[in-house]
Structure 1
């Protein structure tokens, strides 16, 4: 009898233990499923993800790994005013390490050896940009021609436009027969190892480039926990871009200048197709950014050059706020000085000018026929960015008619 009760007791205890283990396994399984299964993102009426407090915590967690460093990339195409906007960071002060078009070396070398594979190009651009943001100049060295010797080079493109590279300890005594002009003084060859050390002492780092083809290329950098990367995509009216390029690069745009004189553009020409492709690429990048994917949440800003020229101080404040960097008095003074003057002879690469006058200057230099073709191939892009189309030359040159609509997507 005692044996019978003992067996029953043992069975009851076993059942209790099994039930407890089952509950534990169930809870663990549920937690694992919750972690692995992606949660649907709430959508707004426009199809853009809404911003939830939980997402803010995610961004704060990501930023905590960056040690307070802010990294900014100005993404643009040629003649969109990127040099001017880049100066907003270049003039920030001693706590900023700003680089002007370092990817020129990469583009030039890859073109010379005819590398065209898209995935290969993307990987190279990612590696070099990551290295620069982390103050490692080694990935870029292999693209500088001739190759640096003992990390020394006199061939750094655009050095004169980077204050960080034109100050001590990076600005050393100039060597004989070595031309390496900085903004206000002559400097000797650039020591890239020393540049890396100097970069590490700066809290914030910014890069301006017109050589990254699409926003998607930057995803691995945005998701890199070592970086707190913010991307500013700068756009401009395609008609203004063409007018500026024709004036700045006359040899490259000789065909367009011929069409301007003839008053007729062959719409199926390769040059026109190339322009369409560039407009499409810029638009697709903006669509990615404006759709607010999780990896770009609060890390993307669409900026129109025309808005900067009309409201430079206000836009500068917005840019600094987006980047998470204090807007210094030094930067304010530079903007105030360089947006209200009109030098007698304006260098096309200069940033010293009356910004408001420059905004519409293209309307009086671009023939209507060329403007019409640009509107034809870049229409969807212009519509997205709020650039109004014109139907005749009279409207084109009428400064009282604004060609800029409000941009509600920013």
Structure 2
């Protein structure tokens, strides 16, 4: 009887968990379906058209997040419709750049290479923060099967200068397309310049307000208009886990996508996160000082998952499958920190746009910073010093753990293993292999 009772309880709990997850997926699918259908069909199909094709696409959209197989069907159906509606190379010379990274890899610094481009670049800083936040609140954590398609579709809209899907993830919800809650608005010059910068409203509190000038709450209609007037579009994100999920962006002829994946030594990333996200890395900090503390398998599993995701995305990009050919570039943070001007020039050449004097001046000013202005989140640092700094801020026991868990990732990116503590802190020994990524 006891065994039968236990089995019944387990069965009921399992059903509850499955039902909760299905509800989350359903909510996000409804969000994506209602917002994305007009986008995929395009403005030229707003007149009467093939109803059966619409019904088929709607059916696929409603079930887009159920599993990977149905997601693959959605992408293929969307692509076949786009082929019949949009001519090849419809971007008209416009470039669309997605900077992919993870936290504490220098992505804010590298993102400025595009933010500082000036009047011909529309740059967005971490718009997917809102998507991750809402999905985490609703599910108690970020569900990869839901987050991946949601991230992809929000990015797809944003590169086409459509903010409607992003709006549905912003809390509190924008009123008449106006919000005071866009994450890190001040990190995008495009959102703090005319005509997007509306007159300042004293009674409206905006946490991420523009710092160089006083603006009213962000009007997303004006942001859309500004985006459409810009020659090129760039987005920085640390939230996309797998490059493969972004394939529809590369295959949309309205976009001329360029993917730049920024990576950094996993040992340096961990050392940086322990400082920047101190409360979330308490267990790692305890490991650093307590020799007898047992390893938390969940934390190690997270570390491995992060390294594996980065490596698998890079492996796909470096293989240059047909959909990525000429669209993918891998860049190491260490190379940018040591040779910022050279690597910035390489990135601009890869994208196919001119490297301006404004960007060059910004790089010169922000790679030789004094200690007084180099905070944890600052983009203004002595970049060459940052490359080696982690080696003196992390115990060798943690270095050993990272090397064990992230070994394949380190090998792929050309990071050498430290064999002992003396080797770790010996500045005369480089832990970076000189490597070219084609």
Q: TM-score, normalised by structure 2?
A: 0.77
Q: Could you report, residue by residue, the CA deviation over 1:12-64 in whole angstroms, capped at 9, with x for unpaired residues?
A: xxxxxxxxxxxxxxxxxxxxxxxxxxxxxxxxxxxxxxxxxxxxxxxxx9873
| 2:431 paired with 1:406 | no
Which of 273, 280, 303 does residue 245 from structure 1 map onto?
Answer: 273
CA positional deviation for 1:261: 1.5
Q: Could you report, residue by residue, the CA deviation over 1:140-178 in whole angstroms, capped at 9, with x for unpaired residues?
A: 000000000000000000111111111121122332241
CA positional deviation for 1:105: 0.3
CA positional deviation for 1:392: 1.3
**In 2, distance between residues paired with 1:182 and 1:143?**
21
| Contact 2:167–2:173 (CA under 8 A) maintained in structure 1 | yes
| Contact 1:62–1:228 (CA under 8 A) maintained in structure 2 | no
**Residue number in structure 1 paired with 2:187:** 161
CA positional deviation for 1:136: 0.4
- Pairing 1:332-351 to 2, within 5 Å after superposition: 332-351=360-379
Q: Which runs of 5+ in 1 are unaligned?
A: 1-60
Q: TM-score, normalised by structure 1?
A: 0.83
**Residue number in structure 1 paired with 2:250:** 222
**Residue number in structure 2 paired with 1:150:** 176
**In 2, distance between residues paired with 1:277 and 1:265?**
22
**Residue number in structure 2 paired with 1:277:** 305
**Residue number in structure 1 paired with 2:393:** 365
Instruction: Please state whether the residue corresponding to 1:366 is helix, strand or coil.
Output: coil
**Residue number in structure 1 paired with 2:46:** none
**In 2, distance between residues paired with 1:365 and 1:257?**
11
**In 2, distance between residues paired with 1:150 and 1:67?**
31
**In 1, distance between residues paired with 2:332 and 2:101?**
11
**Residue number in structure 1 paired with 2:68:** none
- Pairing 1:162-201 to 2, within 5 Å after superposition: 162-177=188-203, 178-179=205-206, 180-201=208-229
Q: Could you report, residue by residue, the CA deviation over 1:256-313 in whole angstroms, capped at 9, with x for unpaired residues?
A: 1111111456445211111011101100111101111000000000100000001100
CA positional deviation for 1:345: 4.3
Which of 94, 116, 125 does residue 100 from structure 1 map onto?
Answer: 125
Change (3 A) 1:267 1:255: closer
Report the number of matched residues: 350
**Residue number in structure 1 paired with 2:333:** 305
**Residue number in structure 2 paired with 1:255:** 283
**Residue number in structure 2 paired with 1:22:** none
| Contact 2:414–2:433 (CA under 8 A) maintained in structure 1 | yes
| Contact 1:265–1:369 (CA under 8 A) maintained in structure 2 | no
**Residue number in structure 1 paired with 2:319:** 291
**Residue number in structure 2 paired with 1:76:** 101
Instruction: Please state whether the residue corresponding to 1:252 is helix, strand or coil.
Output: helix
CA positional deviation for 1:340: 1.7
Instruction: Please state whether the residue corresponding to 2:275 is helix, strand or coil.
Output: helix
Change (3 A) 1:264 1:86: farther
| Contact 2:198–2:216 (CA under 8 A) maintained in structure 1 | yes
CA positional deviation for 1:120: 3.6
CA positional deviation for 1:117: 5.5
| Contact 2:89–2:254 (CA under 8 A) maintained in structure 1 | no
| Contact 1:290–1:409 (CA under 8 A) maintained in structure 2 | yes
**In 1, distance between residues paired with 2:291 and 2:423?**
18
Ranked by relative contact order (alpha carbons within 8 Å, sequence separation 6 or more), the top structure is 1
**Residue number in structure 2 paired with 1:315:** 343
CA RMSD of superposed structures (Å): 1.6
Give the stretch that moved more between structures: 323-332 or 254-263: 254-263
CA positional deviation for 1:199: 0.5
**Residue number in structure 1 paired with 2:54:** none
Instruction: Please state whether the residue corresponding to 1:253 is helix, strand or coil.
Output: helix
